Amino acid sequence: MKLQFAMDTLTTEHALALAAAAAPHVDILELGTPLIKSAGLSAVTAIKAAHPDKIVLADLKTMDAGELEADIAFTAGADLVTVLGSAGNSTIVGAVKAAQKHGKGIVVDLIGVADKAGRAQEVVALGVDFVEMHAGLDEQAEEGFTFATLLRDGEASGVKFSVAGGINASTIASVQRSGAAVAVAGGSIYGAPDVGAAAAELRAAII
Ligand SMILES: O=C([C@H](O)CO)[C@H](O)[C@H](O)COP(=O)(O)O
């Protein structure tokens, strides 16, 4: 299972510092949606330049203009770009077209989708690399939140999936047991007093 570090920060400078600390322990460096909205796609270029050996994911969460948005992110240096599962199929097909042009990949984020397993099967048939079983920061803050349902949806989908939803060192093993290809961790790494140590702890918890 790969480890993806979601950098939900607001400046390229901070993202570069976070990435420098965590990179030895993670496989995928994710530029979070708030970071891209705040700093722009130049942040993607800066992270890829600093870490050419890492997979760089631009979390665009595209909802429309799939081909155009994916194209500009790939041109900026992204290896993977996210499109929302609630987008129309034509948006996803457009993003896949851009990915094929660049030799890169599309991840469909299933945040807010009720039938995650069913939609996962549909979008994989459209040519996306994998899907993300995702509960966002707001959903995580809701009373009674548990990401157990994400793991069940992933298993039920039968397709390649990542999981994101507040994963930490005590829960990452359950993510791996669910069969996830990628565990996405944001706050448990960037919110730790020692970012490198937190990333290393997550890595060590992966069997
Ligand atoms: O995608 C995310 C969210 O929508 C804000 O951009 C997060 O990166 C994702 O949820 C992972 O972060 P944590 O939940 O803090 O682990």
Distance between Cα 186 and ligand 1 center (Å): 6
Domain range spanning residue 159? Answer: 2-143+155-181
| DSSP, residue by residue, 111-176 | TT-S-HHHHHHHHHTTT-SEEEEE--HHHHTSTT--THHHHHHHHHH-S-EEEESS--TTTHHHHH
Q: Report pLDDT for 147.
A: 85
Please work out whether the CB of residue 112 comes within 6 Å of at least one atom of ligand 1: no
Query: Is 189 part of a structural domain of the chain?
Result: no
Q: What is the mean pLDDT of residues 74-89?
A: 98
pLDDT tens, position by position, 31-59: 999 999 999 999 999 999 999 999 999 99
pLDDT tens, position by position, 162-199: 999 999 999 999 999 999 999 999 999 999 999 999 99
Q: Report pLDDT for 146.
A: 86
Query: Is 86 part of a structural domain of the chain?
Result: yes
Kind plus residue range of the DSSP H or E element containing 7: strand 2-7
Query: Is 92 part of a structural domain of the chain?
Result: yes
Distance between Cα 136 and ligand 1 center (Å): 6
- Predicted ipTM of the assembly: 0.97
End-to-end CA distance of the chain: 9
- CA–CA separation, 6 and 121 (whole Å): 25
Query: Is 112 part of a structural domain of the chain?
Result: yes
Q: What is the mean pLDDT of residues 93-105?
A: 98
Query: Is 205 part of a structural domain of the chain?
Result: no
Please work out whether the CB of residue 185 comes within 6 Å of at least one atom of ligand 1: yes
Distance between Cα 166 and ligand 1 center (Å): 7
Query: Is 190 part of a structural domain of the chain?
Result: no
Distance between Cα 59 and ligand 1 center (Å): 9
Count of structural domains within the chain: 1
- CA–CA separation, 29 and 199 (whole Å): 12
Query: Is 134 part of a structural domain of the chain?
Result: yes
Please work out whether the CB of residue 137 comes within 6 Å of at least one atom of ligand 1: yes
- CATH number of the domain residue 52 falls in: 3.20.20.70
Please work out whether the CB of residue 136 comes within 6 Å of at least one atom of ligand 1: yes
Across the chain, mean pLDDT equals 97
Query: Is 83 part of a structural domain of the chain?
Result: yes
